[in-house]
Amino acid sequence: MNLDTIDENTILTDQPTFKCDGEFYELLLNNFIKHHNGINESVVNMFTGIDYDDLTSTNYSTEEFYKLMTSYSVNKKDHPNIIKIYTSAEEEKFKKADDLFVLKINDVSTFYSQNKFALLLKVTSDKMTNWKIETLR
């Protein structure tokens, strides 16, 4: 699969399939900011710190979102196993991964991935509450 398979209705991934519409993107950005604020112990939005008089101005949260999204897109095309989401029962498949993130729901480690953005997409598509993503390595 590659980015050419994306249309305005769906993003096709190995798992799961994400319905994409305006509400989805709004929730995705809000979930990213929730995660970003949680790990940085800050309260920002996607526009905090941007100089509106400078057309090249950006901020850390926007850059981080872009970096995560780009990593997901590149790996989706070139290394699809990196964006897969696993349960703890599938530990054999991810235990040797260099990068590993865990999605905790109600403080219970529930899903794992080598790609943080894949977990953000999962949280968003399933409209999860009481979640957090932590870096394991």
Q: Residue 20's pLDDT is what?
A: 64
Q: What is the pLDDT of residues 28-40, one digit of tens each?
A: 988 998 888 777 6
Q: Residue 26's pLDDT is what?
A: 86
Average pLDDT, the chain: 82
Q: What is the pLDDT of residues 75-94, one digit of tens each?
A: 998 998 899 999 988 888 88
Q: How far is CA 3 from CA 30, 60, 64, 80, in A?
A: 23, 25, 20, 12
Which parts of the chain register pLDDT below 50? 1-16
pTM for the predicted model, two decimal places: 0.77
Q: Which domain holds residue 89?
A: 3-135
Rounded Cα gap, residues 38 and 49, in angstroms: 18
Count of domains in the chain? 1
